A and B are shown apart, each in its own frame.
Chain A
Amino acid sequence: MVIAIGFEGSANKLGVGIVKDGVVLSNPRHTYITPPGQGFLPKDTAKHHRDHALDVLQAALEEAKIKPDEIDVICYTKGPGMGAPLVSTALVARTVAQLWKKPIIAVNHCIGHIEMGRLITGAVNPTVLYVSGGNTQVIAYSEKRYRIFGETIDIAVGNCLDRFARVLKLSNDPSPGYNIEQLAKKGKRFLEMPYVVKGMDVSFSGLLSYIEEKAPLLLETNEYTPEDLCFSLQETVFAMLIEITERAMAHCGSQEVLIVGGVGCNKRLQDMMDIMVKERGATLYATDERFCIDNGAMIAQAGWEMFKTGLVTPLQETTCTQRYRTDEVEVTWRD
């Protein structure tokens, strides 16, 4: 029996989760929500994490009914993500690891998403579409690595959606992407936008510039409604993602697709993916907002897998890094 506690703070979510042999005992989270039209900046996000980390940690322990001495390993997000928020969260993880005399493990955030998705859905060897505010990657496992088949060559899909939400001054509560999704349901008129797939990779920055430039006039003249634009943007970017996911599936001969990351809880993305997957006679696995969106349990789960293969990180090496690619990690826990 191994109990792992995970600390996540790579973006605007601060989460602490406790996992005991594949069972999530608790997974509280606190999100830094900025006013409409504004994104979250590193300094303010780090302050948010420092202000809430201890309350969230206490909530995680109480909800799980676990005492510190029952915990076997402390897991924290090493990267990728925003530097200052990562460090603030890591400081708490390092301090409790020493107070409670427990080993500590550095976890790659992307690996956390993949392992959590596999745990929750039971997918065995899926082609993974990892879509969030900071990352957009199509991943498949081979020879001890999660290999990146395709990815964005500029901004993440979630970043594109978030920044478009700022143009429309949509609320960031609970998240800009959620509010775009709700508006998109009422969209009727499709606006054609740049569709940029380059081989296995995608690009969203040109598309964002295009719609940022066009939107004010289109809305002013009532040619398109905000709903129409949200609908058109979603349809375009999701179609691009599905195209590269399908190509990766064909390449690997894969019969499973797993969607993870914050954008992965978008129902329209899941529905579009399901159509493609069904046509191929394959299975789609997706999770809801509890596990798609950044959380502590996913870091605990990935750390739990690593710890069971004998990995630990010496305290002096528990650094954080803004860039940390998914394929840098040797996957010691899979065949």
Chain B
Amino acid sequence: MNPLSADIQIPFPSDHEAEIAYGSLSVDKEPKRGGVSKTMTFSHNVLNVHFQAQEARMLRVSINSFFEHLKLVVETMERFGPPR
């Protein structure tokens, strides 16, 4: 057993935006069958995501899906957030 892992750091323009992204993205749990675990934290303006998986394919699927969701959240903030 040597689980694969990946760490991603996403910097945001402000602490508040990192917190909102965390709030939106940390709610959904990974599908049970995939064997991937995802843990999320944020500190100041950086969102940290840690992935662990048994299979490279599942790790890739999980990271892809995370980026699709992240893109949507970022676009939502850009279009509907308060003007900076």
Do residues B25 and A54 form an inter-chain contact, with CB atoms below 8 A?
A: no
Whether B13 sits at the interface, judged by CB under 8 Å, is: no
Which residues of B are found within 8 Å of A94, using beta-carbon distances? 23-24, 27
CB of A99 within 8 A of CB of B81, answer: yes
| Bound CA span A319–B29, Å | 8
Interface size (A, Cβ < 8 Å)?
25
Q: Are B82 and A91 in contact (CB under 8 A)?
A: no
Q: Does B7 contact A (CB under 8 A)?
A: no
Are A99 and B82 in contact, with the CB atoms below 8 A? yes
A315 surroundings in chain B (CB, below 8 A): 23, 27
Contact A87 B69 (CB under 8 A): yes
Determine how close the nearest CB of chain A comes to the CB of B40; give it in whole angstroms. Answer: 12
* A25 part of interface (Cβ distance < 8 Å): no
Find chain B residues with CB under 8 A from A316 CB: 26-27
Residues of B within 8 Å of A53, CB to CB, are 72, 76
B-side interface mostly: helix
Residue A123 is within 8 A (CB to CB) of chain B in the complex: no
Flag whether B63 is at the interface (Cβ < 8 A).
no
Closest chain A CB from B46 CB (angstroms): 17
Task: Please tell me if A35 contacts chain B, counting CB pairs below 8 Å.
Answer: no
Chain B residue total in the interface (Cβ 8 A) = 22
* Contact residues in A for B72 (Cβ distance below 8 Å): 50, 53, 88, 91-92
- A226–B19 CA distance with the chains assembled, in angstroms: 56
Q: Is the interface of A mostly helix, strand, loop or mixed?
A: helix
**In the bound complex, what is the Cα–Cα distance between A96 and B29 (angstroms)?**
20
Closest partner residue, chain B, to A319 (CB atom): B27
Q: A residues within 8 A CB of B71?
A: 50
Docked Cα-Cα span, A46 to B82, in Å, equals 27
* Residue pair A98, B23 in contact (C-beta under 8 Å): yes
Identify the closest chain A residue to B31 (Cβ).
Answer: A83
Residue of B nearest to A89 (CB): B72
Q: Say whether A194 faces chain B, with CB atoms less than 8 Å apart.
A: no
A320 proximal to B (CB < 8 A): yes
Of all chain A residues, the one with the shortest Cβ separation from B24 is A94
The residue of chain B having its C-beta at the shortest distance from the C-beta of A86 within the complex is: B28
Closest to B82 in A: A99
- Taking a contact as CB atoms under 8 Å apart, the answer to whether A54 and B79 are in contact is yes
Residues 48-64 of chain A, each 1 if its beta carbon lies under 8 Å from chain B, else 0: 00100110011000000
Other CB < 8 Å A-B pairs besides A68-B80, A99-B81, 10 of them? A54-B80, A88-B69, A92-B72, A95-B20, A95-B73, A98-B20, A316-B27, A317-B27, A319-B27, A319-B29
8 sampled A-B residue pairs with Cβ under 8 A: A46-B68, A58-B79, A95-B24, A95-B73, A98-B19, A99-B81, A315-B23, A319-B27
Shortest 7 CB-CB contacts between residues of A and residues of B: A94-B24, A95-B76, A98-B20, A95-B24, A50-B72, A99-B81, A95-B73
